[in-house]
DNA sequence: TTAATGAGTGAATATATTTTCATTATAAAA
DNA sequence: TTTTATAATGAAAATATATTCACTCATTAA
């Protein structure tokens, strides 16, 4: 409808799109880092703008509220979770699936990948009172991830790949270690030592 | 000096002291819970006063600033750390010492003891920018705790009580799991399953 | 009863943080 | 060089949170 009165643009729509995506990326990278490290409340929009190297005003052109930015990041985390859940539902060998995920996570921790930040974001979410739909979704997917992992462990136990024990308890412990490692990574930074996957999985996988 | 002009008091000094301690305890219990769950920035003095069942004004009679309250709690955490470090320096069997600590922690998690809150407080501390002397002390003790644990693991390896591996890496992993479990406990609350100590120590202790 | 004292209160003030918006900068077409 | 559309800015307004302080409350010795 508005298209009818199309006027000439100084830049092409593609150029504008690229600019917007570029600044959005800057905001994302800065925000995930700060939210993960300091939490939602302790992170000021000023901090984010500074870290991203843009003005506060520009942030608000992209996000009406600080919360909207947080929620968008949460959405990415949800997508990541969904991918893992889907993978776990495949028919591959349980031990292979767990090993694969573990190695991937340890690798990301070692390479300072954004993974750690997203993991922390998931914790931070639980500290927020006013649960947005995005955070509710995240909580649902987390629970699904848990159940899926417990089922996978059960499968692996039947195949005699895994050690005995309550699958739910083991799944919880697995994620607790991942959680804890992520936290350590973020707080210790360069003093952090990424553990071998043998250490991480020794409670679960038979030698 | 001031004692000279002593005037009559409606209550005895002991009574006043008891009242002050009572409210301080209320504040502590409320604050540690909220700081641990939501972090320093996200916890309002209003929240603390509400949870403690007192007025905001009374809070400020006991602590000039919100930060002072936080720092006092940090001091308690430091004392706890020092106790554990001292214990670890004793000549008891390494495997016994680690087992003892692990069981104690798991028991506290199970019983909803304040331990979990103090553990989380230690994380929250790392997210604060303006490092108070108290927080600096906490960081120093944390590092000491690490080193002490690594040394203990080394000792246990020589005695063939522990599995092989880099002691520092294993110490870090140990605390990461504790950290992660604490976090889970606080976020999941009643859905949390306290893992058996066998699961927690299986990466470290030989069967 | 009254007077005295320190605990306890919460509305008012100070401070910090978020959000808005009038304005400027940029790059390309004319 | 001028015009244009949109990105980008940052000081000002709106909002939220921390802190203060003039006051009330509770208790007990006199």
Do A195 and B172 count as a contact with CB atoms less than 8 A apart?
A: yes
Cβ of A44 near strand C (under 7 Å)? The reply is yes
With beta carbons less than 8 A apart as the criterion, state whether A62 and A54 touch.
no
Name the band, by pLDDT with cuts 50, 70 and 90, for residue A2. very low
What is the C-alpha to C-alpha distance for residues B17 and B109, in angstroms, rounded to an integer? 32
Residue A62 has pLDDT above 50, yes or no: yes
Cβ contact B161:A170 at 8 Å: no
- The verdict on B145 touching A (C-beta cutoff 8 Å) is no
Interchain contact, B176 vs A183, CB within 8 Å: yes
Across the interface, which of B39, B170, B195 has its CB nearest the CB of A173?
Answer: B195
pLDDT at A206: 92
Scanning every strand, the nucleotide with its C1' closest to A53's CA turns out to be D8
Contact map slice: B 73-112 vs A, CB within 8 A: none
B130 to chain A, any CB pair closer than 8 A? The answer is: no
- Provide the pLDDT for residue B1: 34
Question: Is the Cβ atom of A192 within 7 Å of strand D at any atom?
Answer: no
Interface A–B counts its CB contacts (< 8 A) at: 111
- Decide: A185 and A107 in contact? Cβ < 8 Å: no
CB of B44 within 7 Å of some strand D atom: yes
What does the pLDDT read at residue B4? Answer: 36
Strand C and chain A: which residues 62-121 have CB closer than 7 Å? Answer: 64-67
Chain B touched by A127 (CB under 8 Å): yes
In Å, what is the CA distance from B180 to each residue of A55, A155, B78? Answer: 36, 25, 20
Residue that has been written with the tokens 């976090």 in this structure: B183
Half-sphere exposure of A205 (CA within 13 A, CB side): 17
Task: Give the pLDDT score at A7.
Answer: 58
What is the residue-wise DSSP string for B23-51?
HHHHHHHHHHHHHHHH-TTT--HHHHHHH
Q: What is the mean pLDDT of residues A188-200?
A: 95
Say whether the CB atom of B46 is under 7 angstroms from strand D. Answer: yes
pLDDT number for residue B7: 59
- Whether any strand C atom is under 7 angstroms from the Cβ of B173: the reply reads no
Which nucleotide comes closest to B64 if you measure CA to C1'?
A: D19
**What average pLDDT score do residues A177-190 get?**
94
Per-residue pLDDT of chain B (207 residues; tens, 9 = 90+): 333 344 578 788 899 999 999 999 999 999 999 999 999 999 999 999 999 999 999 999 999 999 999 999 999 999 999 999 999 999 999 999 999 999 999 999 999 999 999 999 998 898 888 899 999 999 999 999 999 999 999 999 999 999 999 999 999 999 999 999 999 999 998 999 999 999 999 999 998
pLDDT of residue B76: 97
Q: Is the CB of A46 under 7 A from strand C?
A: yes
CB of A5 within 7 Å of some strand D atom:
no
Measured in angstroms, the CA of A204 and the nearest CA of chain B are apart by 8
Round and report the angstrom distance from CA (A169) to C1' (D16). 42
Interface of A with B in 24-43 (CB under 8 A): 37-42
Q: Which residue of A has its CA nearest to B43?
A: A41
DSSP string of B88-108? HTSSS-HHHHHHHHHHHHHHH
A128-137 contact pairs (CB < 8 A, 24+): A128/A40, A128/B42, A132/A67, A132/A71, A132/A74, A134/A71, A134/A72, A134/A74, A134/A75, A134/A78, A135/A71, A135/A74, A137/A74, A137/A75, A137/A78
**Residue in chain A nearest B163 by alpha carbon:** A199
The predicted model gives A196-204 an average pLDDT of 98
Sign of torsion, CA B52 B56 B58 B62?
Answer: positive
B interface mutation test: which of A145, A162, A195, A197 has the most B CBs within 10 A?
A: A195
């Amino acid at each position: 409808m508005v298209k009818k009165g199309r006027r000439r643009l100084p830049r092409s729509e593609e150029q504008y799109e690229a600019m917007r995506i570029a600044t959005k990326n800057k905001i994302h990278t800065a925000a995930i880092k700060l939210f993960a490290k300091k939490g939602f409340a302790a992170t000021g929009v000023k901090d984010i703008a500074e870290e991203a190297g843009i003005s506060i005003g520009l942030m608000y052109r992209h996000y009406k509220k600080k919360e909207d930015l947080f929620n968008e990041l949460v959405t990415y985390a949800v997508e990541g979770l969904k991918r893992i859940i889907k993978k776990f539902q495949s028919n591959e060998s349980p031990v292979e699936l767990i090993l694969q995920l573990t190695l991937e996570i340890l690798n990301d921790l070692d390479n300072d990948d954004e993974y750690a930040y997203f993991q922390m974001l998931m914790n931070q979410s639980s500290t927020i009172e006013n649960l947005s739909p995005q955070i509710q979704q995240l909580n649902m997917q987390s629970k699904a991830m848990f159940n899926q992992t417990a089922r996978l462990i059960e499968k692996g136990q039947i195949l005699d790949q895994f050690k005995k024990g309550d699958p739910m308890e083991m799944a919880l412990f697995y994620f607790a270690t991942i959680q804890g490692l992520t936290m350590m990574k973020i707080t210790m930074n360069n003093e952090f030592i990424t553990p071998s996957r043998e250490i991480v999985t020794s409670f679960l996988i038979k030698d």
